[in-house]
Amino acid sequence: MAITKPDESWWKTATIYQIYPKSFCDSGSKGMGDLKGITSKLGYIKLLGVDAIWLTPVYQSPMVDNGYDISDYFEINPEFGTMKDFDVLLSEAHQLGIRIIMDIVVNHTSTQHKWFQSALGDKNSPYRDYYIWKDPVEGAEPNNWNSKFGSSAWALDEGTGQYYLHLFAKEQADLNWENPSVREEVKDVIHFWAKKGVDGFRLDVINLISKQQEFLNDENGDGRRFYTDGPRVHEYLQEISESVFQKYGSVTVGEMSSTTLEHCQQYSAQDGKELSMVFNFHHLKVDYLNGDKWTKTPFDFIQLKQIFNHWQTGLNGKGWGALFWCNHDQPRVVSRLGNDKQYRIESAKMLAASIHMMQGTPYVYQGEELGMTNPHYTDIRQYRDVESTNMYQIMVNRRGIAHQDMMAILAQKSRDNSRTPMQWNSTKNAGFTKGTPWLDLAQNYPEINAEAAIADLNSVFYFYKHLIELRKQVSVITDGRYEDLFPEHKRIFAYARQNDKQVLLCINNYYGDEAKCTLPDRFDMSKARKLLSNYQSETCEVGGQNQVLRPYETRIFLIESD
Ligand code: GLC
């Protein structure tokens, strides 16, 4: 099927597959993935049944943050291939009916970008005002804001004595969106890719683009309250949307850092004035001790359910959310909330079901459909991620945390946990590359890999495929309202989705022991049909009002009114 005419809301029944090109498939022996590698795997992606690919950045970049530091928005990073390779990928994907969503990083550019290079050290450069510069205060940084990757958010420009703002690495300088020329440049970038025929955009940390202009010291925090969901962010998004997204009918998903429901209702309001949908991360902070990521602690199950309830009920009829556990910044969910040893397959499926049956658009991150795990690195030299290596220095060298404790924290929290190469088969390096991989693989690839999964009808892969199909077949998954049935239950996460004609029940045991619940009588289980579960044996037939779930069991039922 070729894509001929854009349908405005195709993404409401769609599932999107995220590719992190560096770790996906190397067509040669460089040790890192590339565009040709992705094109060679389109058949696999098609088999999974997804509708679109979100490609994380492939533009020219010094790769300090693996492409989230862009030095030229109009060129492909030669390490990934050429513009021709990109065009081939786009056209072959379209021929298979798979859309392509590009990652747009416009909160900041690389300090290697020609705008920054011109601005650095020269107050008279026409590009100086493309970035955010401030004079020192009492000989030091202009304020106490911290970068998201640790340490001050300001770096000194020795040539002028001023500091520039970088909310991420010091090689990622924040753009000054107050400057209308910056907004025009951003529109040009998006226009270029939309004109090429890409179908949509994922907008990196887009709710950080508007900073409060006073740049005040934050007496109670790291500064984020002065730039998160900032004063002009909605205005800016409306401007970009009107000039480009609406013209091309692009699907858009905004990555929202530390955001609120109220702002997300507006970002993704169904009037189409800003974005199609939003990512928020609150459900992935339930294993942060007192809000601090760099801690090791079990996840808070009750809080997880509360957060889902807040967002599912709050966005219903008002906005639209992305549904996800995994991406290139998050550890593997089966290692995080499941059991990646004894119950790896059961828990991977249960976690998949429990998020795919919610309202929104699911995102599957490469390898998640195989139940890929964290690699459990034991040597600090195995880590490559700029955030992880920065935090190691800060925690061990400055804060005096013991090396072993920090290794345990990284093994749970590092972004490299999800960036290990995709496991294609059981041959050397999992078939990812003929060379030396840029990042060590998880050593379980002889068992966990795509080839083995495709050969086994009970694999995690086919379970995802089934979930993706169900979303297209059962309308209540798209339009039903959400109700958490047992918010206080210590082991079971069960929710109902309901519209006028259908009730869908998704019942999940999040733990490794048997768990029980009694469904309310208003759900007539004598009429229920089991759509999917993760145990083969007959004992999990519909089961009536009293449900007894085995370790990490999931059951999905549909009740239809006559
Ligand atoms: C987003 C990206 C992350 C990147 C950061 C800065 O959070 O997902 O990988 O480091 O933005 O661009």
Predicted confidence at residue 345, as pLDDT, reads 98
Residue 439 to residue 445: CA distance in whole angstroms: 14
Domain end residue (candidates: 407, 433, 449)? 449
Predicted confidence at residue 542, as pLDDT, reads 72
443: tokens are 């050593």
244: tokens are 């480009």
Three-class SS of 50-92: CCEEEECCCEECCCCCCCCCCCEEEEECCCCCCHHHHHHHHHH
Which residues are known to be catalytic?
204, 255
Q: 365 C-alpha to center of ligand 1: Å?
A: 15
- Spell out the alpha helix ranges (H) of 204-300: 233-240, 246-248, 261-267
Q: 315 C-alpha to center of ligand 1: Å?
A: 24
pLDDT at 540 over 60: no
- Going by alpha carbons, the residue nearest to atom 9 of ligand 1 is 329
- Going by alpha carbons, the residue nearest to atom 12 of ligand 1 is 68
Q: 78 C-alpha to center of ligand 1: Å?
A: 21
Same domain for 321 and 424: yes
- Cβ atoms of residues 99 and 50 within 8 Å: no
Report which ligand 1 atom has the smallest distance to the Cα of 69.
Answer: 12
Residue 9 DSSP label: T
- Section 334-354 average pLDDT: 98
67: tokens are 């492409």
Structural domain boundaries, residue 491 = 474-560
- Please check whether residue 465 lies inside any domain of the structure: no
- Cβ atoms of residues 334 and 340 within 8 Å: yes
- Spell out the alpha helix ranges (H) of 129-225: 180-196
In whole angstroms, what separates CA 378 from the centre of its chain? 26
Report which ligand 1 atom has the smallest distance to the Cα of 386.
Answer: 10
- Going by alpha carbons, the residue nearest to atom 7 of ligand 1 is 205
Residues flanking ligand 1, CB < 6 Å: 65, 68, 105, 168, 204-205, 255, 328-329
Q: 110 C-alpha to center of ligand 1: Å?
A: 13
DSSP state letters, 477-493:
HHH-EEEES-TT-SSEE
Residue 157 DSSP label: E
Long-range contacts of 234-237 (CB under 8 A, 24+ apart): 234/263, 234/266, 234/267, 234/274, 235/210, 236/177, 236/183, 236/209, 236/210, 237/206, 237/267, 237/274, 237/275
- Please check whether residue 408 lies inside any domain of the structure: yes
Percent of the chain residues topping a pLDDT of 70: 98
Q: Kindly report, residue by residue over 201-222, the tens digit of the pLDDT.
A: 999 999 999 999 999 999 999 9
- Section 269-284 average pLDDT: 97
Same domain for 276 and 246: yes
Residue 298: Cβ within 10 Å count: 9
pLDDT at 14 over 60: yes
Predicted confidence at residue 5, as pLDDT, reads 42
Report which ligand 1 atom has the smallest distance to the Cα of 68.
Answer: 12
Cα-flanking dihedrals φ and ψ of residue 382, to 5°?
A: -80, -20
Predicted confidence at residue 393, as pLDDT, reads 96
Q: Kindly report, residue by residue over 22-35, the tens digit of the pLDDT.
A: 999 999 999 999 99
- Please check whether residue 458 lies inside any domain of the structure: no
Q: Kindly report, residue by residue over 419-428, the tens digit of the pLDDT.
A: 999 999 999 9
Same domain for 325 and 299: yes
78: tokens are 């030669």
Report which ligand 1 atom has the smallest distance to the Cα of 257.
Answer: 7
Predicted confidence at residue 482, as pLDDT, reads 98
Domain end residue (candidates: 152, 173, 194)? 173
Q: 264 C-alpha to center of ligand 1: Å?
A: 19
- Going by alpha carbons, the residue nearest to atom 5 of ligand 1 is 68
- Please check whether residue 467 lies inside any domain of the structure: no
- Going by alpha carbons, the residue nearest to atom 4 of ligand 1 is 68
Percent of the chain residues topping a pLDDT of 90: 96
Helix (H) or strand (E) holding 468: helix 460-473
Instruction: Tell me which of 68, 102, 279, 326 to substitute to probe ligand 1's pocket, judged by most ligand atoms within 8 Å of the beta carbon.
Output: 68
CATH number at residue 203: 3.20.20.80
- Please check whether residue 4 lies inside any domain of the structure: no
Same domain for 227 and 266: yes
Is 10 strand, coil or helix? Answer: helix
pLDDT at 446 over 50: yes
Q: In the structure, what pLDDT confidence band is assigned to residue 17 with cuts at 50, 70 and 90?
A: very high
Report which ligand 1 atom has the smallest distance to the Cα of 167.
Answer: 6
Instruction: Tell me which of 168, 207, 209, 414 to substitute to probe ligand 1's pocket, judged by most ligand atoms within 8 Å of the beta carbon.
Output: 168
Nearest C-alpha neighbor of 19 from the set 3, 35, 43: 35
Residues 6+ away with beta carbon under 8 Å from 336: 287, 299, 325, 330, 374, 412
> Across all residues in the chain, what is the average pLDDT?
96
Q: 174 C-alpha to center of ligand 1: Å?
A: 13
Same domain for 382 and 478: no
Three-class SS of 423-453: CCCCCHHHHCCCCCCCCCCCCCCCCCCHHHH
CATH number at residue 136: 3.90.400.10
Predicted confidence at residue 451, as pLDDT, reads 98
Q: In the structure, what pLDDT confidence band is assigned to residue 181 with cuts at 50, 70 and 90?
A: very high
Report which ligand 1 atom has the smallest distance to the Cα of 108.
Answer: 12
Same domain for 329 and 373: yes
Strands (E), 499-561: 502-509, 515-518, 529-533, 546-549, 554-560
- Please check whether residue 314 lies inside any domain of the structure: yes
Q: Kindly report, residue by residue over 502-537, the tens digit of the pLDDT.
A: 999 999 999 999 999 999 999 999 999 999 999 986
Same domain for 100 and 157: no
- Going by alpha carbons, the residue nearest to atom 2 of ligand 1 is 204
Instruction: Tell me which of 56, 58, 59, 65 to substitute to probe ligand 1's pocket, judged by most ligand atoms within 8 Å of the beta carbon.
Output: 65
Same domain for 151 and 195: no
Question: Domain total for the chain?
Answer: 3
For residue 164, what are the CA distances in angstroms to 142, 158, 306? 9, 11, 39
Q: 169 C-alpha to center of ligand 1: Å?
A: 10
Parallel/antiparallel/unpaired status of strands 554-560 and 529-533 = antiparallel
CATH number at residue 533: 2.60.40.1180
Predicted confidence at residue 308, as pLDDT, reads 99
Q: In the structure, what pLDDT confidence band is assigned to residue 539 with cuts at 50, 70 and 90?
A: low
Q: Kindly report, residue by residue over 97-149, the tens digit of the pLDDT.
A: 999 999 999 999 999 999 999 999 999 999 999 999 999 999 999 999 999 99
Instruction: Tell me which of 56, 103, 204 to substitute to probe ligand 1's pocket, judged by most ligand atoms within 8 Å of the beta carbon.
Output: 204
- Please check whether residue 468 lies inside any domain of the structure: no
Same domain for 356 and 435: yes
Same domain for 225 and 89: yes
Cα Rg of the chain, angstroms: 23
pLDDT at 9 over 90: no
- Please check whether residue 84 lies inside any domain of the structure: yes
Predicted confidence at residue 304, as pLDDT, reads 98
Q: 68 C-alpha to center of ligand 1: Å?
A: 6
Residues 6+ away with beta carbon under 8 Å from 509: 350, 491, 492, 515, 549, 550, 551, 552, 553, 554
Q: For residue 504, which amino acid is it?
A: L
The half-sphere exposure of 353 on its side-chain side, counting CA atoms within 13 A, is: 33
Q: Kindly report, residue by residue over 370-394, the tens digit of the pLDDT.
A: 999 999 999 999 999 999 999 999 9
pLDDT at 452 over 90: yes
Q: Kindly report, residue by residue over 490-499, the tens digit of the pLDDT.
A: 999 999 999 9
Same domain for 275 and 139: no
Same domain for 523 and 400: no
Q: 228 C-alpha to center of ligand 1: Å?
A: 15
- Spell out the alpha helix ranges (H) of 325-428: 333-336, 344-356, 386-392, 403-413
Q: Kindly report, residue by residue over 28-82, the tens digit of the pLDDT.
A: 999 999 999 999 999 999 999 999 999 999 999 999 999 999 999 999 999 999 9
Report which ligand 1 atom has the smallest distance to the Cα of 56.
Answer: 8
